[in-house]
Structures are given as structure tokens and as C-alpha cells.
Structure 1
Amino acid sequence: MPSFIAITYFLTLTGLALYGAHRLKMLVLYWRAASRPEPVPPPLRWHPKVCVQLPVYNEPLVVEALLDHVAALRWPDEAWEIQVLDDSTDETTAIIEGWLAAHPQAARRVSHVRRARREGYKAGALREGMARTDADFFAIFDADFRPQPDFLERMMPHFAAAEVGVVQARWEFANRKRTLLTRFQAVFLDAHFVVEQTARAASGLFFNFNGTAGIWRRTALEDAGGWTSDTVTEDLDASYRAQLRGWRLVYLHRYAVPSELPENLIAFKSQQRRWTKGGVQVARKLLGTVLTASLPARIKREAWWHLTIGVVHPLLVTFSLLFVPYLWFAADQLGTWWYLANPAIVLLAGGAPVAFYVAGQFLQRREWREGLMWLAVSPLLLSFGLALSVTLCVAFFEGLLSNGGEFVRTPKGGRRVRAGGLLARMRSRTFFAAITCAEMLLGAVLLGGAVYFGLRGHGELAAALTLKGGGFWAVAWLSSNDLWPSFWLKPAEPTGVMNAGT
């Protein structure tokens, strides 16, 4: 048994180190890309018809602001329209109708599309919208995005090249500094949007449309097979199919569209669960096709790392389960060579992701103070990512064993989400309750190890285990706060004194 634990621990850490090394590769590709001037598109000499699609499902807290911003876009009146693809089952529909009634001039270009059934979820709604228009291009915005008036003017010139099928803007987060949770999310997502997307796009590698804040050429989307709902990340799926057909995607990392980060941990977990599950489904669906296609080897290699990134989460859960048993009675099973190799492997597995995330913060704004601050708290950042691995490990196996599934939206609207009862109506509450229990169990194992080693004078091990175990318990506590708010909220104080004789 000790040998089995030691070998499994070694393989797990080696797997994490390989994905860590890939993070460093992304940083190198980004540095190369950053040294090149951004391509300047030709002057805008044409105004093809653009359909702005707004897929909406139960978004009462943010839909009015979305409509306000989209209605302010600048484009010739005769060359654009708006589709509100509304599958809502709550008060969102009435809010949209009220907005249209209050803005009759803007309403003239708006089609409020309602479907009898939410078939195909977001992909189905987008497909339905395409069938209702002859537009040549489709700009897509999720409900929490706030495009600036120049969005179409800045994006459309890049379609002057006939092979360009998609132009994607970078996501920015208006509430990134609202809470510690939104700060952590911003660090993780900036690494993707600032470093990864820029590196892949500038290096001629496959990358993906991000589902919103981008524009599709109709012929590219139709040539790729259109929107399909056999994965829950229809954006990633369509992007790879289009690139396999020879279409080129353009990423504008210097032009950003503001959006909102979820301010509830359960909402964030729900978003990450869908992205991980869908990524695995796309890997199952398309990775074999990519690897056997007539493509350069470097594109195939990067597609492998990109589409299999979900493997990291089972590795992290395995690491959490094995760390204490390995330290207890298997640390001497791998021989002297392991003591020489272990520091380098640990550095790649843990240090490379830290460099990746911290660099994402510095590279975005060139602020040394921000980067150094995140470097100082990087152990907390790693603990938070480790604790999220339980949710994403389950999502990995969901994607491995199923096709499609319900498109579970991410509730938006700041902390008002809980007050409005939107989280309480999530169908996956039981799922996240079970995940919270698993997080508490893993945290208990790690904290028990911290006590054991602390009592035996191994302070450094006790500190590391306390940090990791505390991360699991912190995430579990925040999750329970969202799942069962009535348990944590104090009863309201009486607002007045009853009259005598009442």
C-alpha cells in the first residue's frame, strides 16, 4: 500500500507539473506577441447587415442595462437589428416588454423572440434567431455585458479579410474589486483573456470564441455546422469546427467589453462547472478530428493542452486525498532520486500557475504593485483554486460520461442575486450541497494532518496543510452561506414598539 500511494502521488504531481509547464509556455508566447504591433484593420468602407443577438434566461436584475447599452450602439439605421432571444420563465419577460414600451424608437429595431420550449438552451435560441433574419453578421451579448457605442465600429473592420469568421473582444469586469471573491475570479479569468487568448491568437494557434462580446460571420457559422447543443459550451465547439474548416478567428486583446463577475460563490461554481463539463465534451467530440486533420503539429499540440485542461481537476483532488497519507507513511518509498527531482516538480506544479496568474495581473495594466500584491498572497490563491477542484472534478466526469445537458445560466446582479431568490431557484442546489460536504471532508483530512505534524515538530508541513485545509473549509463555508442563507442571516430587529393595548 505505501508503494501504491507513493507511485500514485508521483504520477499525480508529474501530471500537474506538465500542465504547469504549459502555463509557462503560454507566458513565453504572450511575451512574443506583446512585442508585435497589433494589426490595423483597413478603414471601414462597408456596412453589412448586423443582427445583435441577446440570449436571455431569467435575468431580471441586469436585462434593462443590457438593452440600454445595446440600443446605443452606432451603426447605420438600415443595417442592423436587435433580437432579444427570451426564454425566461420569470419576471424578465415583463421587464423587457416594459422597456420596449418605454423606448418606442429603439423598439422599432427590436424583435422580442419567445419560444414555446427552451429546446437546445442557448444554442437553440441562437439557432432560432438566425432562422428569423437574413443578416450577414451576428454580434452576441450575454445579459451582464455592457458594450460601448463604438463596439460595431471597432470590430467590423476586421472582417475585411474574407477568411475571418469571428472577431472576439476581451472581457473586462466592472466589479473586479468589489469583494475578495471577485478579485480572485478576476485573477483567474485575466490569465485566460489577457495571456492565453492573446498568445494563441497571435501565434496562429486555435483559440475560441467566448460566447459573448464577439461577432460571427454568418457564412463561417453555417459552414461549420451552425450552433449545436450536444455540448454545454456551444461557443468552444463552434470555434473549433470553424477553424477546422479553415476560418480564422481574430482576438482584440486591447479592446474590452465590461461585464459582471458573479458575487456569489455558488454562482461562480455553477459557471465553472459548465465551462469544465463543456470543455471535456468538446474534447471528446473534436479532439480526435483535430489530431488527425492536415494541420501543423504545433496547432495539434496546443489543441491537446487547451481541450484537456480539465484533467487538472481530478489530479488536484487526487493530490488532496493523497497528500497526508503520502507524508505519513509513503514519503520514503520513491528513493533518493525523488528528493532530487521533487523540488523541480513541485515548483512546476505550484509555482508555474502562480507565475501565470500574477503575470496576467501585471501584463494587463503594467502595475507592479498589483502583481506583487498577488505574489504575496499567492498561497491563498492556490488554496482557493485547490478547493474549487472538487466541483470541477465532478464536472470533468460529467463531461466525460454525457453529451449536452441543461445550460445552467450563471445568476448575475451582484449580491442582489440572493435577495431576489435566484440562487434558491437553482435546480442544482442538491449537487452543490453534496460538493460542500465533500469540501468539508477534504478540509478535515488536511487539517487533521496539520495537527498531527504540528505536534511532532514539523511546523512547515503543518502550515502548508493548514493553508490547504483552511481553503477547503473557507470555500465550503461561503458555499453554505449561499445555499442556506436563512441559516446564517440574523433575524431582523423589531422596527418599532407595539402600543399598549394592541
Structure 2
Amino acid sequence: MAAHGADRPEGRPLVLVAYLLGLAGAIAAFGIGPTLGVVAGALNVVFGVYFCRHLAFAVAAARWAERDLLAADVGLDSYTPPVAVLVGCKNEELVVDGMVAALLALDYPTDRLTLVVVDDGSDDATGAKLDAWAVRDPRLRVLHRAPGSGGGKSGALNEALALVDAEIVLVFDADHEPEPTALRRLVRHFRDPSVGAVMGRCVIRNGQDSTMANTVFVDYLSGYLVNEYGRQALFELPAYGGANCAVRASTLRALGGWNPETVTEDTDLTLRILLMGQRVRYDVSAIDFEEAVVSAQRFWKQRYRWARGHQKCLRDYWRPLMRSPHLSPLEKVETTLFLGVYHVPVLSGLGLLLTVLRAFGVGDLPVIGLLPLSMLLFIGPLAELCVGLLVGRVERRSAWRLLGFLPAFALSIWITSRAYVDGMLGRPYSWVKTSRSGATSTVLATPPPVAAVPAQTPARPRSFASPGEDR
């Protein structure tokens, strides 16, 4: 496989034409009622599969996540390989001071830690602030890229990678502030030679700044405390998340670094690591605080980029994934479902369209036959959201924030559908950074305190694997 597996042309316009011709042909041959009935049935199957997946993750998190948080101090001091921490910054003057202060406070041997922050052609005070920090603390190295250097975040990280000599590379985004022990918690997993990357847990720190930030706060509880936890607990197949993540340097270099031809370098790297025969792990106790988008406009830009890149990864990697000798049939199915996550809202929009058509008398499928579409569409994700609130120990009144997901879900249907059509038509798109607001910490969740695990505990999946533990 090529070093960068997702650098082929994105557009698939003929596929869209084939879909339309196939639908028109089916309607002409069998009638609109039976055709729409078959489409609705197919959607029910897809939503049913994802419902079971959501529910399984929710049960796993409700059963074991808090205990894993309590068992989180295993092996923090016994393994300290050389580590390089890399951060790319572009016009981040509002958040860069908090990020650098957090990096300098990381608990790790000084002689084994390299800190490199890239000023990626900023035209604000980012570069000057970084240089001032470097003067005050020689542990920090600053790399200035010229404006228009290209490659987005991947390009900045690849230039930084060329400057360091370390066994493990950690990546944070400019608005991230990791807890002091986060580095040790991530690095300890690399004692297992099969581990290519490790992801930590991101927590939103500005959930009270706006209704949108509230929604993203709850979304992250679901995503990290439930969804990624479930993928680790049930399949040992979490994703490399792009920030608060570590990757083995030899693995990264063997793959040619981060892919500058994708706008979601994290998902792309996850697939390339799996296809080369290594694994990604998730450490729920390696906590890092980040800033949520505070407006619908910023939400749109961020999630459009995620959808566009994620959908492209499915188109580019599903064939190599199916042929991979390193994954079992069940693991191939789960990885395909993971890649399909940003297609599900597109299908949800199609399901809503079928419901509207039936309401206006188009098609002969009974209305009750469409109910599973809406039930399976919402109950699975709702279960994850509720468990995320419980495990995250969020204050009671935060339960009302679940209502914010109704407009957010509608917005996601439009965002992902637009990204899908644009991607299939091959419309040009390049990496776009998320704008920051410089929010201070107002974390609403209270993680369970770290404590010793009781002597007698039931067996559980290895969602938190001790260093050196056999897989």
C-alpha cells in the first residue's frame, strides 16, 4: 500500500448518476410504492445495525467505564521512552498561552521530552507569543512556517516530525490543555509492540459559553466516555483522534507521516495503522481539556470538514480494508461501521424525506412501517448520550441539554448531506482550521476520583489495558 493511501481523486460523480438511474429504473419497473418500500426497509436494516452498536457501547460504558477510571494509575512511572510533543498553530493568539503553559507542566523526565510548536504562517500575534515563551523556557522549540506552505495540519506536523528524534510522538491542538499526567498515561501502552497509536479522552472546558458549546460538551461525553470506550471494550478498535493522541514514531515514518491530501488526518492515519497490522488503543484516564465551538457557523465549518474527510476515507479504504489479512471478519465489519458514521445522517435525511412523501400520499407503505426509522434513528444515540451524562457525573440540570441535540441533529443531516454531494462531485476543498474564542475553563463534568480498585471485582473487557498486558 502507498505511504498515503487517500491521495487519489475524490470525486465519484458517475456513482451519483448510477444511483439516480437505478432509482428511476426501479420506479419504472415496479412502481413508486414498492420501490420506496424497499428503500425504507433497507434503511431500517442499517439503522437497526447502528442501534445495536450504540446500545452495546452504552452498556459497556455503563458497566465498566467508571471502574477503569478508578484503576487508572497502573504503570505511570515504569516506562519513559523519549517523547516528542508536536502542536500546529495557525492564528491561535487567543489560546496559545494556555496551551504552552500546560505543555510545560507535563509530568515527564525533562531529558526525555521534546516540545515543538509550529507557527503555521500565522498573521496574528501567535508567532511572537511562541517566541516569547521559547526565550523564557529553553524546553520549547518553535518552528515558523512561511504563509502558504500548504498541507494544513498534516504539513505542519510533518515538518516538526523531521526535526525530532523520539520513540513516541504526541500531538495536541492549539486550544488543548492536557492534564500533567496525560503524557505518561498515553505512553505506557507502547510497551506492547503491537500498539501503533494511543488516544486519550478530550473534555470540553467551556460548556457554559453558549447553547452550541453545551451541545458539544454533551456530545464529547458520549463520544469519548461511551462511543470510543465501547469500541475499545468490545472490539479493541478505537480511533486515533488527531489530538491528545500518541503514535509510535517508527510507525509514523514507515507510513510516510501524516497525509497532507486529507482534511481528517486522524481517521486516515487510523486506517493506515490498522492496515499495516498494528493497533490503536484508547486510555479513558488520559484527560485533555479543549475548547468547543460556540456558534452554529463554527459548528458547520468544523463538522463539514470532519464529514468530508471521513466520507472520503470510507471511499478510499473500504477495498483495502476488506482485503486486509490483519483484521478478522468482525473487525472489518466494525471498522466499516465506524467509517460509515458520517453517512448515517445522510441516510437519516433520506428517511425523513420518505416520511414526508408518505404524509403527502406518495407511496403505499403504511405510516406505521416508517416508525422504526425514527425510533432506531434516535434511541441508540440517545442511550449513548444518557450514559455519557451518568458516567461523566454531570450536574442534574445538564440533562436538559439533551434537547439541544434535536436542532443539532437536523443541522448535522444538512452538513453531512452537503459534504457527501460535494465530495462525490469532486468539488475542491482544503483543510480549514477551527476558529477559537479563547474560552477559560468551566468544566461541568466531575471525573470520578482516582482510587485503588477493590480487591474483588468482576471480570471485564480490557478497555483499559495495563502496560505490557497481552492483547
Calculate the TM-score normalised by the size of structure 2.
Answer: 0.78
- In structure 2, the partner of 1:58 is 91
Q: Give how far 1:146 is off.
A: 0.6
Q: Deviations over 1:249-288 (max 9, x none)?
A: 2211233211110112111111100111100111112111
SS for the counterpart of 1:392 is: helix
Change (3 A) 1:110 1:201: same
- In structure 2, the partner of 1:329 is 361
Inter-partner Cα distance in structure 1 for 2:87 and 2:44: 38
Which of 389, 397, 416 lines up with 1:361 in the alignment?
389
**Aligned alpha-carbon RMSD (Å):** 2.9
Kept in 2, the 8 Å contact 1:17–1:348? The answer is: no
The AA in structure 1 aligned to 2:330 is: R
Inter-partner Cα distance in structure 1 for 2:208 and 2:137: 33
1:93-112 map, 5 Å: 93-97=126-130, 99-100=132-133, 104-112=135-143
Inter-partner Cα distance in structure 2 for 1:259 and 1:30: 24
Which of 178, 184, 190 lines up with 2:209 in the alignment?
178
- In structure 2, the partner of 1:391 is 415
The AA in structure 1 aligned to 2:80 is: H
Which of 265, 282, 288 lines up with 1:257 in the alignment?
288
Is residue 237 from structure 1 mapped to residue 268 from structure 2 by the alignment?
yes
Q: Give how far 1:368 is off.
A: 6.4
The AA in structure 1 aligned to 2:344 is: V
Which of 196, 200, 221 lines up with 1:190 in the alignment?
221
Q: Which has the larger radius of gyration?
A: 1
- In structure 1, the partner of 2:78 is 45
Q: Give how far 1:9 is off.
A: 7.2
Kept in 1, the 8 Å contact 2:238–2:281? The answer is: no
- In structure 2, the partner of 1:156 is 187
Change (3 A) 1:30 1:297: farther
Kept in 2, the 8 Å contact 1:20–1:350? The answer is: no
SS for the counterpart of 1:210 is: coil
Which of 425, 434, 437 lines up with 1:413 in the alignment?
437
1:87-236 map, 5 Å: 87-97=120-130, 99-100=132-133, 104-115=135-146, 117-236=148-267
Inter-partner Cα distance in structure 1 for 2:254 and 2:346: 36
Kept in 2, the 8 Å contact 1:16–1:315? The answer is: no
The AA in structure 2 aligned to 1:282 is: C
Is residue 19 from structure 1 mapped to residue 47 from structure 2 by the alignment?
yes
- Of residues 197-206 and 254-263 in structure 1, the stretch that sits farther from structure 2 once superposed is 197-206
Kept in 2, the 8 Å contact 1:69–1:146? The answer is: yes
Q: Give how far 1:77 is off.
A: 2.0
- In structure 2, the partner of 1:70 is 103
Change (3 A) 1:121 1:362: same
Inter-partner Cα distance in structure 1 for 2:75 and 2:189: 8
- In structure 1, the partner of 2:342 is 310
Calculate the TM-score normalised by the size of structure 1.
Answer: 0.73
Kept in 2, the 8 Å contact 1:282–1:307? The answer is: yes
Change (3 A) 1:359 1:7: farther
Inter-partner Cα distance in structure 2 for 1:6 and 1:362: 44
Q: Deviations over 1:192-223 (max 9, x none)?
A: 21211111112234331111011111012223
Inter-partner Cα distance in structure 2 for 1:148 and 1:129: 23
Q: Deviations over 1:429-473 (max 9, x none)?
A: xxxxxxxxxxxxxxxxxxxxxxxxxxxxxxxxxxxxxxxxxxxxx
Q: Give how far 1:322 is off.
A: 4.7
Kept in 1, the 8 Å contact 2:117–2:140? The answer is: no
Q: Give how far 1:28 is off.
A: 1.6
Identity fraction in percent: 24
Kept in 2, the 8 Å contact 1:230–1:404? The answer is: no
Is residue 80 from structure 1 mapped to residue 113 from structure 2 by the alignment?
yes
The AA in structure 1 aligned to 2:332 is: K
The AA in structure 2 aligned to 1:318 is: L
Which of 406, 420, 438 lines up with 1:382 in the alignment?
406
Runs of at least 5 residues in structure 2 that lack an aligned partner in the other structure: 1-26, 441-471
Change (3 A) 1:35 1:367: same
SS for the counterpart of 1:28 is: helix
Change (3 A) 1:142 1:349: same
Q: Deviations over 1:222-265 (max 9, x none)?
A: 23342112221111111111122222222112332111101121
Runs of at least 5 residues in structure 1 that lack an aligned partner in the other structure: 417-502
Kept in 2, the 8 Å contact 1:230–1:403? The answer is: no
Aligned length: 406
SS for the counterpart of 1:365 is: coil
SS for the counterpart of 1:253 is: strand
Change (3 A) 1:345 1:316: closer
SS for the counterpart of 1:172 is: strand
Q: Give how far 1:360 is off.
A: 2.6
Q: Give how far 1:98 is off.
A: 5.3
- In structure 2, the partner of 1:400 is 424
Kept in 1, the 8 Å contact 2:88–2:174? The answer is: yes
Inter-partner Cα distance in structure 2 for 1:112 and 1:364: 37
- Structure scoring higher RCO (CA < 8 A, sep ≥ 6) equals 2
Q: Give how far 1:46 is off.
A: 4.0
The AA in structure 2 aligned to 1:54 is: V
Change (3 A) 1:241 1:401: farther
Q: Give how far 1:97 is off.
A: 4.3
